[in-house]
């Protein structure tokens, strides 16, 4: 944004922003805004890092990035999942350089200081007698595990999770994601700003033209009266086997001190059991879902994490901000913990709908970025079917200010 003064230019930009309209091009193209996104939005909120089944044993770890920050997410000796800043307390090298693995101890590649799994400093070579090892543990990063989902916050004082935790427990509890395991994950690099990717996820206005496969299964397109009837049938079917999944709508600004969460349900078309190529079962039923209820539970969690629960599998959507005009999308498929590939489920059938959907999304997000880069881009109005994207954009403007 040049030298005029970031705050002043940012104020002008906000004043220009028309309510109910797509964001100004600076929000997708300006490096200074991207730094604000990282500092004020992504670093302030909780982010999904992955599923706990990725690191089942003590010493199992993976690295989790947010711009210049990197956390080592590790299962410690006591079985608890912890996160440490991957910055050596000696002179600042990365300590762990493999993206995932199993370690008994983390040894810095520079001068070989050694850290325990709980982050405490175990040894510093040739240190003086009076060197206080206890003062040089890896810095802790906030981490919480809820229903098997690992969340990380790089904030000094993280947002409260009371509302979000209630929503996740009540809405994902019936599927017992805490006992699930990762069947597959895919990473899609995207030549587009992370918010274009999130906005695209949040609206299904594009589903009919871009996602014929998805649109054959999920009832988001029909006249409202038909959707109401399908939703009512879904709720009644779930109730018949004792499952009640409430709506949780706490999409609030972080100034209120709590993480934003929005959980709701919607129906699949009549006769469609789950998100499989032909609508038929793709994996064993999960948790307390004793039958197919003809519905989907979906959760928006903070700025960049989204979850979709079908009776027989789950899908995690994690948006990763890289630079102002590059991002990535990680999609993770969950199945019941004891489900065996090739016996209880076919991986291709399990992953087909969201793979083909994510590949199409990557293309349309990249075309969107290319158009937004042009000086001919002028933010147009969100349509009624884009109400969640519209709400997200308004919420984002409050967060980034
Ligand atoms: S920077 Fe890590 S041991 Fe020196
Ligand atoms: Fe899409």
pLDDT tens for each residue of 147-167: 999 999 999 999 999 999 999
Mean local confidence (pLDDT), 100-106: 98
Ligand 1 site, CB within 6 A: 88, 90-93, 108, 110-113
The string of DSSP codes covering 144-212 is EEETTEEEEE-SSSPPB-HHHHHHHHHHHGGGTGGGEEEEEEEEEEESS-HHHHHHHHH--TTHHHH-H
The tens digit of pLDDT for each residue in 162-189 reads 999 999 999 999 999 999 999 999 999 9
Which ligand 1 atom sits nearest the alpha carbon of residue 93?
Answer: 1
On the question of pLDDT at 223 being above 80, the answer is no
Domains located in the chain, CATH noted: 1-45+161-401 (3.90.380.10), 46-158 (2.102.10.10)
Residue whose Cα lies nearest atom 3 of ligand 1: it is 111
Q: What is the pLDDT of residue 249?
A: 96
**Who's near 74: CB < 8 A, 6+ residues apart?**
55, 59, 60, 61, 81, 82, 83, 84, 103, 117
Which ligand 1 atom sits nearest the alpha carbon of residue 111?
Answer: 3
Ligand lying nearest the CA atom of residue 127: 1
**Helical (H) or strand (E) element with 356:** helix 347-372
Mutation probe of ligand 1 site: the residue of 93, 119, 126 with most atoms within 8 A of C-beta: 93
Least confident of 226-235, 240-249, 374-383: 226-235
Cα dihedral sign, 379-330-254-249: positive
The tens digit of pLDDT for each residue in 58-79 reads 999 999 999 999 999 999 999 9
pLDDT band at residue 1 under the 50/70/90 scheme: very low
**Who's near 71: CB < 8 A, 6+ residues apart?**
49, 63, 64, 83, 84, 85, 86, 141, 143, 152, 154
Q: What is the pLDDT of residue 226?
A: 84
pTM, rounded to two decimals? 0.96
b/e per residue, 53-62, with b = 16+ CB within 10 A?
bbbeebbbbb
Mutation probe of ligand 1 site: the residue of 113, 131, 137 with most atoms within 8 A of C-beta: 113
Give the orientation angle of helix 347-372 with respect to helix 194-202, to 10 degrees: 120
Q: How many Å from the N-terminal Cα to the C-terminal Cα in the chain?
A: 15
Strand partners, 152: 47, 143
| Cβ count near 105 (within 10 Å) | 11
Q: What is the mean pLDDT of the chain?
A: 96
Token digits of residue 317: 């959507």
The tens digit of pLDDT for each residue in 198-216 reads 999 999 999 999 999 998 8
Token digits of residue 165: 């935790």
Q: What is the pLDDT of residue 3?
A: 58
Cα–Cα dist 231/229, whole Å: 5
Q: How far is CA 338 from the centre of its chain?
A: 24
Q: Identify whether the C-beta of residue 164 lies closer than 8 Å to the C-beta of residue 274.
A: no
Q: What is the pLDDT of residue 247?
A: 96
């Amino acid at each position: 944004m040049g030298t005029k003064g970031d705050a002043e230019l940012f104020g002008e930009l906000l004043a220009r922003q028309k309510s109910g309209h797509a964001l100004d091009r600076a929000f997708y193209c300006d490096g200074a805004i991207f730094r604000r996104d990282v500092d004020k939005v992504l670093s302030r909120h909780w982010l999904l890092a992955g599923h706990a089944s990725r690191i089942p044993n003590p010493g199992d770890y993976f690295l989790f990035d947010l711009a210049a920050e990197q956390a080592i997410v590790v299962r410690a000796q006591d079985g608890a999942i912890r996160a440490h800043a991957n910055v050596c307390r000696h002179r600042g090298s990365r300590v762990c350089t493999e993206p995932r693995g199993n370690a008994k101890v983390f040894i810095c590649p520079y001068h070989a200081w050694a850290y325990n799994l709980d982050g405490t400093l175990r040894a510093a070579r040739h240190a003086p007698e009076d060197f206080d090892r206890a003062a040089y543990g890896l810095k802790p990063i906030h981490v919480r595990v809820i229903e098997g989902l690992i969340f990380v916050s790089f904030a000094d004082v993280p947002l409260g999770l009371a509302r979000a935790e209630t929503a996740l427990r009540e809405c994902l509890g019936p599927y017992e994601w805490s006992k699930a395991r990762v069947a597959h994950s895919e990473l899609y690099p995207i030549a587009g700003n992370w918010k274009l990717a999130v906005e695209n996820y949040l609206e299904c206005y594009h589903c009919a033209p871009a996602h014929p496969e998805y649109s054959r299964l999920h009832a988001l397109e029909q006249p409202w009266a038909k959707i109401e009837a399908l939703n009512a049938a879904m709720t009644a079917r779930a109730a018949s086997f004792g499952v009640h999944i409430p709506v949780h709508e706490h999409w609030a600004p972080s100034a209120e001190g709590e993480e934003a969460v929005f959980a709701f349900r919607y129906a699949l078309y009549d006769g469609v059991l789950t998100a499989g190529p032909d609508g038929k079962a793709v994996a064993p039923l999960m948790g307390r879902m004793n039958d197919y209820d003809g519905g989907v539970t979906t959760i928006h969690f903070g700025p960049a994490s989204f979850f979709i629960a079908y009776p027989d599998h789950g899908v995690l959507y994690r948006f990763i901000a890289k630079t102002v005009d590059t991002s990535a999308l990680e999609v993770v498929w969950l199945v019941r913990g004891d489900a065996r590939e090739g016996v209880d489920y076919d991986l291709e059938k399990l992953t087909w709908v969201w793979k083909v959907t994510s590949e199409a999304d990557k293309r349309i997000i990249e075309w969107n970025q290319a158009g937004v880069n042009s000086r001919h881009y002028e933010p147009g109005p969100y349509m009624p079917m884009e109400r969640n994207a519209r709400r997200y954009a308004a919420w984002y403007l409050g967060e980034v200010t």
